[in-house]
Chains A and B, each alone.
Chain A
Amino acid sequence: MKLGLGKLRDVLKTGSGASPEEEKKKQAEGKDKAEKEEILKIENEEIKPETSEVNKMELKKTGLEPKEGPLSPADRTGVEKTGLIFFPAFDWAISPTHPEREERLLYTRDQIFEEGLMDLPEIAEYKPRLAEYRDIARVHFCVPDVKAQATTPHLIAAGSCLVLGDALMKAEVKNAFALIRPPGHHSMTVAHGNRGFCNINNEAILVEYLRKKYGIRKIAIVDTDVHHGDGTQEIFYNDPDVLFISFHQDGRTLYPGTGFINELGGPKALGRTINIPLPPGTPDEGILYVLDSLVLPILKDFKPELVLNSAGQDNHYTDPLANMRFSAQGYAKLNEKLSPDMAVLEGGYAIQSALPYVNTGIILAMAGLDYSCVREPDFKPGMFVQGAKDRKTLEEIVAAQLENWKNRDRLVEAEVAKHGDFYRRKKQIFYDTDMIQEFQEETIRMCPDCQGYKTIDSHAHRGVDDTRIFGVSIPIYACENCQAEAREEYRKRLIHPEYEYVYLQDKKQDEYRTYNIRTKRETVY
């Protein structure tokens, strides 16, 4: 594929969402390449060291003085406030009677405002902002483009997480709660549409943003939504630096039908994905047991730099979409014990009977305040008891997962030995909200020096519409060989007519490209 200078300019002009500085820089690059005339236009740039110009620019855009390399997180000892963004998106719904609709957090607003929580000296309320397209592109291959998947409310929900992430890293707050919608934990790397009420993955966007901007590496995500956090799991499945723990109602009885104990992570990240399928009807007692005997010991052992909580509230005993028996007291206690650096709201659709109380409990617990008087109108202590059989099931799961955790390095060694240079797996993904059936082949480079780059060949069927895309993803801590090889993979795909879009996600260089095969236009985020 050869492009003349004129074509290249066109490509550059389509770079939507780019700031003027970026535009300028791209023009400069364009000139550079124009001088080399007949050389391939869409080519690998020189591999730059981590403190590249791109990196500096990203820092400048976020209003911080450019430094050599990423910033470092400030020390949070002695900081006393809890950061809070309440973004109920009162003017947005998937559809008028969809559970994900305008008034989902209306009664929560009434409760937390009436309680006067925003006035508490322990709470610092922040204003949401829009995430930038490149923040989304750092995680997702959005089909056809970021704009199509991440509408304004999605950008605000994700942006709210970033605002709080910054507040946390600058040590303005000791912890933070993003009480936001729309949710995101079902969104996977490839985003063809809406799955389980989610388009883009707020937590994953936050993780990659913090890693890029503040240079942190090891992060734990504990997903306490009643549904398996399959999107977050998929995004970090091959990343040994991200520990993903999800407990949820057993996938045999609830959407999305995954999250079993044998889903342990990709070959080089085995044991870093931990699923705990809970029997339907599990009450506070069972969930807190799992937390105490499995989640907390593993977190202690993993020593993450940051613990995030995907704080779904649909384990509640009144939730209309699930069958668990968790209470507001249980949620507050869970939060207190887990004490995440940041919690992000996911699901929870008992908008009158649960959310006002659960959110009050979580906010108080995060702020270190007394939540003992928070209860649902119909709640009686002791109304739900764990069955003996279910208790036994939980004990077995806990024992099995502790064993997996203990042996994780050996598991990785054995698994890696089974594969050659590449590890491939095929997947089928169903988008319930948008009725899309997706077929994927994922390939991981089994690199001896880093976690290896990833490519995804994805074919989506949406009624009579078929879309096929190819995406290349370079991890932030990839080795230079992987980076070069991956960029070559991207370049090679640009002339393949079977794809409609080809994506490059170079997290190492913080550069994100989408190439439209039909129009021959490349968008750079």
Chain B
Amino acid sequence: MLIGIDVGGTTTDAVLIRNGEVYSTAKVSTEHGNLLNSLLEALDAISRDVDPEQLERIVFSTTVITNLIAEGKTDRVALVLIPGPGVNPASYTFPDSFYLKGAMDYRGREIDPLDEAEIRKTVRLIQEYGFSRAAIISKFGQRNPSHELRIEEIFREVYPGCKLELGHKVSGKLNFPRRIATAMLASATREHYQEFVEKIRQALEERNIRAPVYIMKADGGTLPVEKSIECPVETIFSGPAASTIGALALTPEGQTSVVVDIGGTTTDLALILSGKPLLASKGAKLGDFLTHVRAFAVRSIAIGGDSVVRVKDSDTDAKLITVGPDRAGPAYCMGGKETTPTDALKFLGLIEVGNPKRASEAIKITASELGKSETETASLIVEKVSRMIADAVNEMFLEWEQEPAYRVWEVLQEKKARPENVFGIGGGAKGLIAEIAKKLGAKPVIPEYAEVGNAIGAAVARPTLTLNLHIDTEQKIYSVAEEGEIVSLNTTNIGNLNKIHLDEAENLATKLMRARARDFGIAEYAGEAEIVDSEVFNVVNGWYTSGRLFDVNMQIPAGLIPEWKRREKA
């Protein structure tokens, strides 16, 4: 039996899956100050009549990290930065930054050496200021981490108690500012997160639950909870990721769908293209910071069931309806003060919840301001909201089509897709999905269990894993971006380094991926690994080829575990 739990902003949803089908569901309201309580409450509700021995897997998604960051409850981190030449670091907006001399170039060759005296002085200063943790990030540190490593040594010597985060271990991708932000946030949240995981472990022990526990990541994959401590920031936005995987589980295989999650204040959109959830081309934005965290492309628009409906004068004297972007408490029919889309839906009989009399009252007020009949007014509100959401969906597809391309074949590849299904989840979905789907020329889908689609997604998501291998045969080294070690090519069984072929590079990547999957305790999914792209460049000095650079990117993509019996549950 599988359990999926999604700790959301307002409710915590849980689902129990037995023999590949939903067996029971539960919903409890989320207690803001204590997410752990909510999680356990939902767990107890769903597993009440189940023998703990029968549980095979528990997966949860949580907003713990998102909340920590949003509420500013993270720890202070001293940022030790080695920017080298380029953008003026004075333009960065990171807090608590200490800049050091030294520089690497794009191939990891040292441009400027470190200044040891300066480092010692800075470390002492960091200690004096009372920082208990520091993140050390150098530009091109992923191509050569020796500066970061040397500074780490000096920290250990001068300020041994300081907790350290190294940029190249956090992400091997290009983008120094994002690496700074990601390392900073990882360091700032790790301890809180660790406590949270520890409490879960204890709670499960008390309940005699010995099933492996996983946590959802922003890219829709699961990660063994003990491994997740290494990369806490990857668990942000796991809610929308869980919803998207849920949609994937509840729609026919291989189709293109848009997942529309209509909440009270906002509507979240995600895309599934030919059965594959679309990843954001760059990492997620966390608070004010752009990061390297791999995440689904999720677009959030400020419109929901509780958005305020207003009547405004237009340039042409005619009066217009506007919706949002603000929310002033619940809908009028739910005891609120303002007319909202929910009132319009209730008035038109499209939803069950809410007080019909109050809905009529709300619409009546708006209708008189607008100078139209009540039915007309309610329809106009629904029309307006569906139009705004449908437009945002179209924009999202357009944005995907217009993603930059750096190779001839990428430009030639015609990116064109429109949704076959509009998959509705969330409270406001029911009355609106049909109208949105009509505007998009797609089929509306509100599946059974839509209200716990996020929890289903958590329950049936499989692990994801990435591996970016970089080989420089001139320098006879390779590195795996995710792991940060620079390894000599002589340790591989590649014979002639000068004649290394792309398939040998890909074989090496596959081998490393298998080891990495084993290390993450997900060896059984190593077979799902695929090569996303690989490229090879000659290094030419003068008129001769003196070496080659290879880049091989592999991933175990987001998907469903084989236990889930997929069927059209619409």
Contact = CB atoms under 8 A, between A and B. Distances in A.
Interface of A: 85-92, 96-97, 101-103, 106-107, 109-111, 113-119, 125-130, 152-153, 156, 320, 352, 356-357, 360, 364, 369-377
Nearest to A373: B88
A156 B408 contact: yes
B178 A116 contact: yes
Contact of A114 (B139, B406, B540): B139
Given A107-B106, A127-B402, A153-B408, A97 B85 contact: no
A110 B174 CA distance: 7
B85 A373 contact: yes
Contacts of B404: 85-86, 118, 125-128
A125 B406 CA distance: 12
B282 interface: yes
Nearest to A113: B174
Nearest to A128: B411
23 contacts: A86-B404, A89-B408, A90-B407, A97-B538, A97-B545, A101-B540, A102-B537, A102-B538, A103-B538, A109-B406, A110-B174, A111-B106, A115-B176, A116-B178, A116-B290, A364-B87, A369-B88, A370-B90, A370-B91, A373-B86, A373-B89, A374-B86, A376-B85
B406 A90 contact: yes
A103 B91 contact: no
A269 to B, nearest CB: 36
Given A127-B403, A127-B405, 5 more contacts: A91-B409, A101-B538, A107-B106, A127-B402, A360-B86
A376 B174 CA distance: 19
B105 interface: yes
B537 A116 contact: no
A114 B545 contact: no
A110 B87 CA distance: 14
Interface string B96-114: 0000000101110001100
A488 to B, nearest CB: 41
A91 to B, nearest CB: 5
A243 to B, nearest CB: 32
B237 interface: no
A507 to B, nearest CB: 27
Contacts of A87: 405-406, 411
A112 to B, nearest CB: 9
Interface string B63-105: 0000000000000000000010111111100000000000101
Interface in B533-557: 535, 537-540, 542-545, 549
B412 interface: yes
Contacts of B139: 114-115
B106 A356 contact: yes
A125 B537 CA distance: 24
A83 to B, nearest CB: 12
A364 B539 CA distance: 27
Contacts of A371: 88
B155 interface: no
A372 B405 CA distance: 30
Contacts, number: 125
B185 to A, nearest CB: 16
Nearest to B282: A119
B91 A91 contact: no
A298 B405 CA distance: 38
Contacts of A90: 406-407, 535, 537
A109 B282 CA distance: 15
Given A89-B408, A110-B174, A115 B538 contact: no
Name the residue in A92, A97, A320 with the highest tally of chain B Cβ atoms < 10 Å from its Cβ: A97
B478 interface: no
Interface in B176-200: 176-178
Nearest to A130: B411
Contact of A116 (B176, B403, B406): B176
Contacts of B403: 127
B37 interface: no
B91 A369 contact: yes
B538 A96 contact: yes
A119 B177 CA distance: 9
A283 B305 CA distance: 65
A116 B106 contact: no
B140 interface: yes
Contacts of B405: 87, 127-128
Contacts of A96: 538, 545
A370 B88 contact: yes
B175 interface: yes
B539 A88 contact: no
B538 A373 contact: no
Nearest to A372: B88
Contacts of B112: 377
A97 B412 contact: no
A327 to B, nearest CB: 12
A114 B106 contact: yes
Nearest to A96: B538
A525 B155 CA distance: 68
Contacts of B85: 357, 373-377
- The 3 nearest A-B residue pairs measured at CB: A110-B106, A103-B537, A113-B174
B227 to A, nearest CB: 28
Given A114-B106, A356-B106, A370-B90, A92 B140 contact: no
A502 to B, nearest CB: 32
Query: Which of A90, A92, A118, A129 is packed against the most chain B CB atoms within 10 Å?
Result: A90
Contacts of A113: 174-175
Nearest to A375: B85
Nearest to A151: B408
B537 A86 contact: no
A361 to B, nearest CB: 9
A103 B536 CA distance: 9
Nearest to B177: A116
Contacts of A103: 537-540, 549
Nearest to B112: A377
A101 B290 CA distance: 33
A376 B85 CA distance: 8
A97 B538 CA distance: 8
Contacts of A369: 87-88, 91
Contacts of A107: 106-107
Interface in B133-189: 139-140, 174-178
Contacts of A116: 87, 175-178, 290
Interface in B216-263: none
Contacts of A356: 105-106
Nearest to B142: A114
B142 to A, nearest CB: 9
Interface string B274-299: 00000000100000001000000000
A377 B110 CA distance: 9
Contacts of B91: 369-370
B543 A115 contact: no
Contact of B140 (A114, A153, A320): A114
A446 B403 CA distance: 49
A97 B89 contact: no
B88 A360 contact: no
Contacts of B103: 377
A152 B282 contact: no
A115 B140 CA distance: 9
B402 A91 contact: no
Nearest to B180: A116
A85 B402 CA distance: 12
A106 B544 contact: no
A445 B542 CA distance: 48
A78 B197 CA distance: 50
B105 to A, nearest CB: 6
A360 B175 CA distance: 14
Given A114-B175, A152-B412, A91 B540 contact: no
Contacts of B402: 126-127
Q: Which of B107, B290, B535, B540 has the most CB of A within 10 A?
A: B540
A328 B483 CA distance: 34
Contact of B543 (A97, A372, A377): A97
